[in-house]
Structure 1
C-alpha cells in the first residue's frame, strides 16, 4: 500500500514538517526540518482534479465531461487549488457577453448563466 506524507496534520490540520528522509537504495538517513512542496499540500480530491486538468490540457469542456461537473464547479475547484498553492485568486469582472456566448454554445446551463450574471459564482 502506497502511503504519502499528509499535506496537513491529520489531528489538528496544522502545517506538516518532515524531519527524516531515508534512501531506499543505500539506506542513508538525513535528519532535519524539511518543508513539503506546494503540491504536497493539496488534498486527494485536489490532486485528482489537477491530474484531470493536466491530462485534458486545461480544456474545461473535457474536464466537465470527465468529472461530470459544470463549468462553474470546474472554475471553483481550480480557484481552490490556486489558493492552496499560495496564490491570490482574483474573481474576474463579470463578462456578460462571454457568459451569454457560453450559454448559446451549450457550455453552461441557463441556471449557471443566471448565477454567473448575478455574481454568485
Structure 2
C-alpha cells in the first residue's frame, strides 16, 4: 500500500522533513534532509480544491458548481491555499463583506452577528 507524503505532522501540525529517498528500479537509497515540495504542505482538502481549480481552468463559476459552494467560499479557499503555499494574502474588504452576507443568507449567522461583523 502506498501512502501520500505528509507535509505536516499529524501530532503537532509542524512541517515534516523527508530523510530518505529510494529508487524502485535500482534500489539506490539516498539519506539526508530534504524539503517536501510546496504542494506537499497542503492539506488533503486544499489539494482537492487545487485539483478542481486546475481541472476547471480557474473558472470560478464552474468551481462553484462542482463543489456546490458560493463565490466567497471559493475565494476564501483559494486564499487559504495561497497562504499555505507561503505567499502573502491581502484580505479584501469586499470579499469579506460578501462572505458575511453569504453566511447570513444561508442562515449560518444571525442578523445581529452579521451586523457586528460588518461594523468591525
Residue 102 of structure 2 is matched in structure 1 by: 112
Contact 1:9 1:16 in 2 (8 A): yes
Alpha-carbon distance in structure 2 between the residues aligned to 1:10 and 1:113: 30
Residues 1:66 and 2:72 aligned together: no
Q: How does 1:1-121 map to 2 (within 5 A)?
A: 1-94=1-94, 111-112=101-102, 118=118
Number of aligned positions between the proteins: 105
**Which residues of structure 1 form unaligned runs of 5+?**
100-107
Alpha-carbon distance in structure 2 between the residues aligned to 1:58 and 1:79: 13
Contact 1:64 1:71 in 2 (8 A): yes
Alpha-carbon distance in structure 2 between the residues aligned to 1:69 and 1:9: 29
TM-score, with length taken from structure 2? 0.78
- Report Cα offsets for 1:59-106 as digits up to 9, x if no partner: 0000000001111110010000000000011023539xxx9xxxxxxx
TM-score, with length taken from structure 1? 0.77
Change (3 A) 1:62 1:44: same
Tell me by how many angstroms 1:2 deviates: 2.8
Alpha-carbon distance in structure 2 between the residues aligned to 1:31 and 1:7: 18
